[in-house]
Amino acid sequence: MKDTVSETLLQILMPLVVAEREAEGLQSAEDYAAFRERHAVLNARVLAALKAEVDARETLSLADMQDLHSMVVAHPALRGSVSDRAVAGAVLSEAWQGLKGWRR
């Protein structure tokens, strides 16, 4: 089950991970603020979908969520970039904050 859920979570995350790659080349705080504004809707949509995925699975425990977090961050699709893994982990933590005892 966890393999299927981790794949679903990765699919939800990838559009935001890909968008965040663009931020790596930004030169100023102003550029980054404009980038964040352009992607605000995507960010909100991804966070909501990640939260809903956990909410919909009533049997998931905090330990299950910790395992899923590790599985997603270690996924081969994210192995090419430390930034990709960091973004994925941070987004999951933000989306899950307070769910089933999750803490950043």
Q: Where are the domains of the chain?
A: 2-101
pLDDT single digits (tens) 6-33: 999 999 999 999 998 888 888 999 999 9
Token look-up 């192995």 returns: 79
Q: Which two tokens stand for residue 103?
A: 């803490």
Nearest residue to 11 (alpha-carbon basis) of 104, 100, 88, 95: 88
List the chain pLDDT tens, one digit each, 104 residues: 788 999 999 999 999 999 988 888 889 999 999 999 999 999 999 999 999 999 999 999 999 999 999 999 999 999 778 899 999 999 999 999 999 999 98
Nearest residue to 45 (alpha-carbon basis) of 78, 19, 12: 12
Distance CA 7, CA 4 (A): 5
